[in-house]
Structure 1
Amino acid sequence: MTQLGGFDPASGRNAHRAGAPTLIPVPSLLRSLLSEHLDAGYAAAAQTPRGRTDWLWQLVAAALVAAVFALAWSQARATAPGVRESQQVLVTSVRAAEAATDELTARRTSLTADADALRRSRLAGDATGRQLLSDLDQAAFAAAATPVIGPGLTVTVTDPGVTRDLTDVSKQRVEGSRQVILDRDLQLVVNSLWLAGAEAISVGGVRIGPNVTIRQAGGGILVDNQPISSPYAVVAVGPPHAMADAFDRSSGLQRLRLLESSYGVRVTVAAGDGLTLPAGSVRDLTFAKGLP
């Protein structure tokens, strides 16, 4: 019987006891690998009392985190009154500016009406003046400078609220907002109504005329730099039945129906009589060039 694990000085000699195990010499490195499973350095580190040290470091880290949060909370409390006061000042300034703008707009409308009445009284006395008034009326209508009342169509588009983050081939919907309808959707509807025979159009109560833009501003839509919100009402004055037939086949309504099925947008198209469109803003010309 041969036993591994020791060194017998008499190993290899002729004289041996009968039945005694024969010991094979084993080098010290191999014997240490078989008998000692943990390195001496690791064994010494394992015997070091580190539990208390780790607990102390954790306690210090928790104290630092608590101090940072306490400092942030105290600063927030200290600055909160100033922030609220600044917000109140801004709100007051905005409301004052809106009131001043409304007052100036009303005064401009009144002065425009007075000037128009005076001009008509001076020019209506002869045939030349009446022809000039007719030409001015046509130019004012083309410039959307006069209010319009008549039959037509009303296209109402309503955002559904929070929707999925869907996209299409041209532009992503506004992520993280309640808005689905974009400026280009309303632009397409307006262009389709023009092609359908509309004589005058307003979007969100703002008259569409020369140099009037419909554009995106963050999560809102501006028409002639005036913000509008859902539901978006596009009112078109013109022959209602002919416009309805042409608009049903237009790309504008097709896009609205696609948004309706994909995003849950609500779309209604209704004909009506006595639709009222306001006059558009009149801008001063700084440069003009006649057609050849």
Structure 2
Amino acid sequence: MSDDERALGGYSSEAGRNAHEADAPTLIPVPSLLRSLLSDHLDPGYAAARTRPQRGRLADWSWQLCAGLVVAAVFAAAVAQAQSVAPAAVETQHVLADGVRSAEQSTRDATGRRDALATEVEDERRTRLEGDAEGRGLLAGLDTAEFAAGATGVRGPGLAVVVTEPDTARDLSDVSKQRVEGSRQIILDRDLQLAVNSLWAAGAEAVSVGGVRIGPNVTIRQAGGGMLVDNQPIVSPYEILAVGPPKGMHDVFEHSPGLARLRLLETSYGVGVTVTESDGLTLPASTVRDVIFAKGPPQ
């Protein structure tokens, strides 16, 4: 096949002409699609690439090799930098963790000393006031006020309400199953607040949540994914203890809005809710804070 024929896709330049008739019209050759498919096995672009000079291909390979070496060098430098920085990061984490543990220990020591001094003050006060009738009257008034403020520990019968977050294996990826968008947490601070208020309404004389006594200026709040009671973190399962008449409180609490919400969470999200009566609950004393009153100018 000549070069002219190859340029026409494998067809002769005389194709379509009548060579036996004089003055016959000149016809434009029409290539055959079937003949093109059978004769040309490579696209023209591939054919041109096949005939490219060897030197051009070597140049292309050289550029690709250089690019690969540059990428490898960048990754090697990144790995070396990460390895050099990792020990410093680990050391910083250890220093911070040691600082946190030291601060926690200092807090525990200070709390223990405060409690010991408070006990000494209480003993000295009772020793001085129990000597006469007027002092005993003052002590009775102080005991009543301290109990109302949650400043004294309490032990007695009552109700134990335990609320547990659902199992993490439960599928909550669907937005419709999330109480807070983008969070897997189901039990919120307002749920515990409503349960505590319902226990007060049911006749509780003292209440604690997660081992923290509920009293004046004590709040139940949420910070991110953590639950705070009096600024102390508590975790699931959340234990709510209420000292009071067990049977009477149980009957009222069963029909309260607090338990109704917990039962709804139990049905909808798999939250664990248990309510049991107990004869020996122990509630700690609450932290007593100074209450400051503001008084406006006289009218």
Global fold match (TM > 0.5): yes
Q: Deviation at 1:165?
A: 3.7
Question: What is the match of residue 76 of structure 1?
Answer: 82
String of CA shifts for 1:85-127, please: whole Å, max 9, x gaps: 1111111111111111111111111111111111122222333
Distance 1:141 1:202, change over 3 A: same
The question of whether the paired residues in 2 share the 8 Å contact of 1:237 and 1:275 is answered with yes
Question: Are residues 1:23 and 2:28 paired?
Answer: no
Question: Are residues 1:270 and 2:276 paired?
Answer: yes
Distance 1:199 1:46, change over 3 A: farther
Q: Deviation at 1:200?
A: 0.9
String of CA shifts for 1:180-231, please: whole Å, max 9, x gaps: 3222221121111111111111111011111111111222111111111111
Matches within 5 A, 1:1-292: 23=25, 59-162=65-168, 163=170, 164-165=172-173, 171-172=179-180, 175=183, 179-287=185-293
Distance 1:63 1:107, change over 3 A: same
Superposition RMSD in Å: 3.6
The question of whether the paired residues in 2 share the 8 Å contact of 1:173 and 1:180 is answered with no
Which stretch shows the higher mean deviation, 112-121 or 62-71? Answer: 62-71
Structure 1 counterpart of 2:252, one-letter code: A
Q: Deviation at 1:63?
A: 3.9
- Return the alpha-carbon distance in structure 2 between the equivalents of residues 183 and 153 of structure 1: 20
The question of whether the paired residues in 2 share the 8 Å contact of 1:158 and 1:267 is answered with yes
Where in structure 1 are there 5+ consecutive unaligned residues? 9-16, 32-39
Structure 1 counterpart of 2:79, one-letter code: W
Distance 1:68 1:114, change over 3 A: same
Distance 1:271 1:167, change over 3 A: farther
Which stretch shows the higher mean deviation, 217-226 or 43-52? Answer: 43-52
Q: Deviation at 1:6?
A: 8.2
Q: TM-score, normalised by structure 2?
A: 0.76
Determine what percentage of the aligned residue pairs are the same residue.
58
Q: Residue 253 of structure 1 aligns to a residue in which SS? A: helix
Structure 1 counterpart of 2:222, one-letter code: Q
The question of whether the paired residues in 1 share the 8 Å contact of 2:219 and 2:230 is answered with yes
Structure 2 counterpart of 1:23, one-letter code: P
- Return the alpha-carbon distance in structure 1 between the equivalents of residues 177 and 294 of structure 2: 39
The question of whether the paired residues in 1 share the 8 Å contact of 2:177 and 2:269 is answered with no
- Return the alpha-carbon distance in structure 2 between the equivalents of residues 74 and 184 of structure 1: 50
